[in-house]
Amino acid sequence: MSLPPLANLLALHDPDPLALERVAADLASGGEFDEVWRPAPAWIAAIAPLPGGDVDGEATRRRGLAFAEGRFAVGPAERAASMVDSRPEGLAALSGDFGFIRFHPDGAATVVRSCGGLVPFYLWQAGRRACVATRLTDLVHHLPDEPRLDPLINAVWTTGHGVFPDHRTFIAGVSILGRGCFARLDPPDAPRVRQYWDPRPSRLERPTPQRTTEHAERLRALLIENLARDLDPQDGNLLTLSGGVDSSSLAALATRVVGRPIWTWSLAPEPEEGSGCYGQLRASRFTSCTRPCVRCPGSCAKRPCGCCSGVSSRTRCAARPSRCPTGRPPPRSRP
């Protein structure tokens, strides 16, 4: 299974052209970023794609966009740029989940974080200088002053609570953009943060039969599209079967609709007498082979194949048909 293209971004705003030149030289010689460019007046940007990704194309650059995630999901670059310029509150109308920076010709910039929040965006501004980064270390490295710790956030995380109250971060003066939000930076004006997607709306429209059908059809289409894109058509797709409806539905769609081979893996307690092996039942129902390879260290497998070595006898393991996670074929039964 392949991950969607992701990238780390760094963007700095400074009205001093000499300061930007020094930053550009530092970024170009540091080896951390693949490309460094000037997207708009007083701005400098750098991108470092993660493994499996690549830098944005020319069409994306011409629209003043730099993507951290969702470049292929959002659709044409001009549509995303136009939406940010005219009505950023309606960004939820774009398909997929996305995170990017839109650099405006007038020197402002709009930072958009995805609804899922897979890639974070850290923001800092002081007067006419500003910085946006997907890695806190990059932002701290380019702060003009010595960074100071935010005692509240560090104390919260020390106690084991991974939250950022009021969008504050470990570094004083640095904030994190919320999920489903966008921020417009136009120094020296203060950043303006708004929400374009709300997971907890104050009210919901009462569903109608037509709306329910539309939602079901759209969900099915999105699932099939993403499974076809993310699953390898040859091999190497692993799905954990929890026993619930969600994982079972994904297995059925992946194998019977999209036609992708999958491995299935399950953990379950020792079955009751006569109930059969949970892993065997799930794997045989939702895999494309009629002979699932199920080997357990418990009573349902007399000769384990080794794929469950180190697993408690109170658990079950169901691997992909005709192959175990170790790569060994299942042992043949004696006549």
Percent of the chain with pLDDT over 90: 52
* Assigned domain for 220 exists: no
* Assigned domain for 327 exists: yes
323 and 256 belong to one structural domain: yes
Choosing from 195, 218, 251, the residue where a domain stops is 195
**How much is the mean pLDDT over the chain?**
81
Residues spanned by the domain of 163: 7-195
159 and 268 belong to one structural domain: no
Say yes or no to pLDDT of 301 above 50: no
Burial string for 216-238 (b: 16+ CB within 10 Å, else e) reads eeeeeeebeeebeeebeeeeebe
316 closest CA partner among 262, 272, 282, 267: 267
Write 160-168 long-range contacts (CB < 8 A, 24+). Answer: none
Say yes or no to pLDDT of 228 above 70: yes
Contact 111, 132 (CB under 8 A): yes
Three-state secondary structure of 91-103: HHHCCCCCEEEEE
Question: What does the pLDDT average to over 221-241?
Answer: 88
Query: Tell me, what CATH number does 116's domain have?
Result: 3.60.20.10
* Assigned domain for 80 exists: yes
39 and 188 belong to one structural domain: yes
* Assigned domain for 91 exists: yes
Choosing from 173, 195, 217, the residue where a domain stops is 195
pLDDT given at position 273: 56
| Range scoring the smallest mean pLDDT among 92-106, 173-187, 238-252 | 238-252
pLDDT band (50, 70, 90) for residue 5: confident
Instruction: Assign residue 202 a region (left: φ > 0; alpha: ψ between -120 and 50; beta: otherwise).
Output: alpha
* Assigned domain for 163 exists: yes
133 closest CA partner among 165, 108, 111, 103: 111
* Assigned domain for 153 exists: yes
pLDDT band (50, 70, 90) for residue 3: low
85 and 133 belong to one structural domain: yes
Say yes or no to pLDDT of 323 above 70: no
65 and 181 belong to one structural domain: yes
* Assigned domain for 49 exists: yes
Say yes or no to pLDDT of 94 above 90: no
174 and 266 belong to one structural domain: no
191 and 262 belong to one structural domain: no
Residue 271 is classified by DSSP as P
Q: How many domains does the chain have?
A: 2
Helix (H, G, I), strand (E, B) or coil at 133: strand
141 and 268 belong to one structural domain: no
Residue 166 is classified by DSSP as G
* Assigned domain for 115 exists: yes
pLDDT digits (tens, 9 = 90+) for 233-285: 888 898 888 878 888 888 889 999 999 999 888 876 666 655 555 555 555 55
93 closest CA partner among 111, 110, 75: 75
pLDDT band (50, 70, 90) for residue 198: confident
Contact 101, 109 (CB under 8 A): yes
168 and 239 belong to one structural domain: no
191 and 254 belong to one structural domain: no
pLDDT digits (tens, 9 = 90+) for 100-143: 999 999 999 999 999 998 999 999 999 999 999 999 999 999 88
pLDDT band (50, 70, 90) for residue 176: very high
Choosing from 166, 195, 224, the residue where a domain stops is 195
- Residue 9 tokens, joined: 């971004």
60 and 152 belong to one structural domain: yes
Give the contacts of 5 (CB within 8 A, at least 6 positions apart): 49, 50, 52, 53, 54, 67, 69, 71, 72
Phi, psi of 191 (to 5 degrees): -60, 140
279 closest CA partner among 303, 308, 250, 237: 308
pLDDT digits (tens, 9 = 90+) for 45-89: 999 999 877 888 888 998 999 999 988 777 778 888 999 999 999
108 and 16 belong to one structural domain: yes
